[in-house]
């Protein structure tokens, strides 16, 4: 009789342990699937820019792109493909490979500033940025265009034409536009590095706030 009772409880304990193990496995699978679904539902944002977005002269973690990731981490993953000194043509040369590798849902274009500083022809800049837009859209991504302004070194006609490029392209392709990425930053010596072109670390949160409202609307 005692042997039977011992076998009964041993069998029951074994079944209980198996049931507990099964429950743990089911929960683990569900959790993994849920986490995978969350990752799939996140946006993937590719930022294609120049030194303004590459945190030139400051630490990477101080740059506006890094700070942006902190603000939208629950909604998106940010890939910073910005390179100091990059031109619109240089970005265009890299874009196809970046799209293939990262498959972004949103492409943020912050290019053209170096073209303008070097006095490149306005039609050439426009053509390159236009191609950046169409290539991104053809890859299935939304596009956010970040506008830039330049010093009046080349005269009013060139400066105005350069700035208008962004608005005209945004209108033509019905894109969300941040008219001037460095709004409330440029022209304020305390927020600019000694070269007068690149913003300081203290300016980076302001740049994020220039971008965030427009970008959030694209994430919803």
Residues carrying an active site annotation:
51, 195, 198
Q: Which of 72, 68, 43 is nearest to 140 (CA)?
A: 43
Q: Rg of the chain's alpha carbons, rounded to an integer?
A: 26
What is the distance between the alpha carbons of residues 72 and 76, in angstroms, rounded to a whole number?
6
What is the distance between the alpha carbons of residues 91 and 131, in angstroms, rounded to a whole number?
10
């Amino acid at each position: 009789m005692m042997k039977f009772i011992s076998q009964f409880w041993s069998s029951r304990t074994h079944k209980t342990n198996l049931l507990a193990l099964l429950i743990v496995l089911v929960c683990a699978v569900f959790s993994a699937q849920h986490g995978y679904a969350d990752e799939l539902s996140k946006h993937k944002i590719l930022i294609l820019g120049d030194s303004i977005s590459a945190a030139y002269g400051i630490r990477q973690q101080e740059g506006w792109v890094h700070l942006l990731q902190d603000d939208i981490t629950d909604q998106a993953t940010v890939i910073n493909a910005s390179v100091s000194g990059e031109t619109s043509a240089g970005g265009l040369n890299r874009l196809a490979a970046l799209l293939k590798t990262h498959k972004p849902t949103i492409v943020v274009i912050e290019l053209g500033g170096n073209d303008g500083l070097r006095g490149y022809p306005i039609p050439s800049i426009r053509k390159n940025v236009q191609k950046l837009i169409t290539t991104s859209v053809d890859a299935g991504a939304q596009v956010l265009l970040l506008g830039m302004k330049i010093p009046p070194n080349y005269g009013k006609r060139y400066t105005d034409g350069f700035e208008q490029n962004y608005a005209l392209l945004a209108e033509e392709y019905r894109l969300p536009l941040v008219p001037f990425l460095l709004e409330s930053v440029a022209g304020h010596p305390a927020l600019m590095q000694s070269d007068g072109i690149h913003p300081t670390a203290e300016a980076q949160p302001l740049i994020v706030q220039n971008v965030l409202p427009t970008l959030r609307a694209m994430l919803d």
